[in-house]
Chains A and B, each alone.
Chain A
């Protein structure tokens, strides 16, 4: 799994995640996010257009990050979910607790 920091726009850090987010890779995502949050950033847009698969471990790391950000007055927005990943979010109920937008641009408007 690749996690790429694409810089800041409108006070939000744009991040791309590629590959599979599962029990092996999810801790890396959570740690990187925690590091960036530690540096003072609290608003994140996570582009998932190249994320092929997400397991419960991936959902767990996103929820943990979202809770961390909420406590600091920030937020996480996910964008451009592939069909299979979107299905996991809908079936798990996560689509109703984590903000999701079609595009990074649409997410930026919410920031």
Chain B
């Protein structure tokens, strides 16, 4: 299976400004000068192998949307602003002809998880089928409201695609788009739901906007079970542990320390930190990943094989 991250920021899209770009260019040029990189040298190799990701790339700006691709099934987790880029890429690569089925699983209805849908062009095209799954009762209302005046010029009922909403029961396994899918309730203002996708022995867990309280910490046996032996765990790590347990307590998000410990206990193979703090610059996120790798190494044997931090455009195969 191929997993592509189209949006990885939490709360709201994070812009990049001229100052950020200038800093990347200056740091890259300083490093190039130090390494003697210039005309006639391997500039591509220098970029690919020597420059840290925060300098040569960016973690991105879009709010949550993850594509889980298996053959002709188009499964998406959340409809943040990243779904706009997915839709445009899809039209470029698949065209407008033929009936296409899209399955969108919603963690919850906070705006950063649905705000991209009005810009999801396949929803405008007649013949396409879009099924939105979630555990909240008022999914259709939330979509309709953001698609109505004065928020948006095109009314929800005027969209060309056939759009259905299906409410799932947490804890119950469903067969959807070739996956066994199970939802789990998570701690978040207004509740959120994580999803465990299983197919042919492979497991992907999408668990964002989920707070693990100081009282429960990692003694959260239900979450260890939910993450059990996952090949890929996409985990909300917006804050540091100190912030999550003090100034941002009850804001509904988790951190890298709890992510590492839960992944370790659950025997996860790849922990992917997700829902990045929007005020963090690329270099902050790069350091956050390096710090998390250090934590992982302190756990020693049995630790997850891989830890990464999601960026817009990142592809993972399981």
Residues of A in contact with B (beta carbons under 8 Å apart): 23, 53, 55-57, 59-60, 63-64, 84, 87-88, 90-94, 96-97
Map CB proximity to A onto B67-88 as digits: 1 under 8 Å, 0 otherwise. 0000000000000000000000
* Distance from B277 Cβ to chain A, minimum over Cβ atoms (Å): 12
**How many inter-chain residue pairs (CB < 8 Å) link A and B?**
53
The answer on a CB contact under 8 Å between A56 and B217 is yes
Which of A23, A59, A84, A87 is B241 in contact with, Cβ under 8 Å? Answer: A59
Known contacts: A53-B298, A55-B261, A56-B258. The answer to whether A94 contacts B217 by CB under 8 A is: no
The answer on a CB contact under 8 Å between B298 and A94 is no
Q: Which residue of B lies closest to A91 (CB)?
A: B291
Known contacts: A56-B257, A56-B258. The answer to whether A94 contacts B242 by CB under 8 A is: yes
The answer on a CB contact under 8 Å between B241 and A94 is yes
Q: Is the interface of B mostly helix, strand, loop or mixed?
A: helix
Is B294 part of the binding interface, using a Cβ–Cβ cutoff of 8 Å? Answer: yes
The answer on a CB contact under 8 Å between A88 and B298 is yes
- For window 224-267 of chain B, which residues contact chain A by CB distance below 8 Å? 240-243, 245-246, 255-258, 261
Seed contacts A56-B258, A93-B241; 9 additional CB < 8 Å A-B pairs:
A60-B245, A88-B298, A91-B240, A91-B256, A91-B257, A92-B240, A92-B255, A92-B257, A94-B241
Residues of B in contact with A (beta carbons under 8 Å apart): 214, 217-219, 240-243, 245-246, 255-258, 261, 291-292, 294-295, 298
Q: Which residue of B lies closest to A92 (CB)?
A: B241
Which of B219, B245, B255, B295 is A88 in contact with, Cβ under 8 Å? Answer: B295
Q: Is the interface of A mostly helix, strand, loop or mixed?
A: helix
The answer on a CB contact under 8 Å between B240 and A56 is no
Would you list the 7 A-B pairs with minimal beta carbon distance, nearest first?
A93-B242, A93-B240, A92-B241, A91-B291, A92-B257, A94-B242, A56-B257
Q: Which residue of A lies closest to B247 (CB)?
A: A97
B residues in contact with A53, CB < 8 Å: 298
Which of A91, A96, A97 is B294 in contact with, Cβ under 8 Å? Answer: A91
Q: How far is the CA of A3 from the CA of B214 in the complex (A)?
A: 23
* Distance from A39 Cβ to chain B, minimum over Cβ atoms (Å): 25
- Give me 5 A-to-B residue pairs in the complex whose CB atoms sit less than 8 angstroms apart, sorted by A's number: A59-B241, A63-B245, A92-B241, A92-B255, A93-B242
* Distance from A83 Cβ to chain B, minimum over Cβ atoms (Å): 10
Q: Which residue of B lies closest to A63 (CB)?
A: B245
The answer on a CB contact under 8 Å between B218 and A56 is yes
The answer on a CB contact under 8 Å between B291 and A56 is no
Which of B218, B243, B294 is A57 in contact with, Cβ under 8 Å? Answer: B218
* Distance from B142 Cβ to chain A, minimum over Cβ atoms (Å): 34
Q: How far is the CA of A90 from the CA of B294 in the complex (A)?
A: 11
The answer on a CB contact under 8 Å between A23 and B217 is yes
Q: How far is the CA of A93 from the CA of B238 in the complex (A)?
A: 13
Q: How far is the CA of A63 from the CA of B246 in the complex (A)?
A: 9
The answer on a CB contact under 8 Å between B242 and A87 is no
* Distance from A94 Cβ to chain B, minimum over Cβ atoms (Å): 5
* Distance from B205 Cβ to chain A, minimum over Cβ atoms (Å): 20
B residues in contact with A90, CB < 8 Å: 291
The answer on a CB contact under 8 Å between B242 and A96 is yes
Q: How far is the CA of A59 from the CA of B246 in the complex (A)?
A: 12
Known contacts: A88-B295, A88-B298. The answer to whether A56 contacts B261 by CB under 8 A is: yes
